[in-house]
Amino acid sequence: MGLGILIGGVWVISFGMFLSRPDRTIPPYSVGAQEGSLVAVHVPPYTSDPEIKTLVMRFGAVGQATRDFAAMKIRPTTSDDPRGRYQTLQIIIFSDPTWAEPDTLHRYVANDSDDASEKTFRKDFEAAVRAGYRADAEGQVGWIGPWNRSGSTDRTLTMQWVFQETWGEAGTMAPTSSPAP
């Protein structure tokens, strides 16, 4: 009985994510948690890398066009900034919903301990990331692959760039070899 409830719950959540997505050309997703400018997004575990790439490209298109991510279900990250509500934004995408929960994201953001268990938690958190998007004053980047912030300084070993562009580049969305987020 418990297994039936679990499977039914996962099905209802996935179906709800599918129906509530703002655009049918991108995979279903839900915003799990947000801490300041860092947003944790969850996609169903069956979502393929090409589908996630489509979602990352959509974040890039919104960033290039309007930088207004409200239609993408993201709360303002810089609401007091006179230049706009989304001047700094970092989106990380997970397939496992437990990593996108508010308590988990808060633990990651607030974690500055040198404790071995906390270092392991940070490493596991970053390894669970499937993709990401970042926009700031200089430009925007999108990638597929784990978020290697605590590990190797050569992030190109684990990340596949979808695009990297400055705000002056009008819709190029072409991969380059500039530094990682």
Cα–Cα distance, 11 to 65 (Å, whole number): 34
Over 80: is that where the pLDDT of 47 sits? yes
For 63-88, the pLDDT digits (tens) are: 999 888 988 889 888 777 777 788 89
Q: How many residues does the chain have?
A: 181
Higher pLDDT, 159 or 65: 65
Cα–Cα distance, 153 to 11 (Å, whole number): 39
| Structure confidence at residue 181 (pLDDT) | 44
pTM for this model (two decimals): 0.76
| Structure confidence at residue 149 (pLDDT) | 62
Cα–Cα distance, 95 to 14 (Å, whole number): 12
| Structure confidence at residue 179 (pLDDT) | 42
Instruction: Give the domain ranges of the chain.
Output: 2-166
Over 80: is that where the pLDDT of 172 sits? no
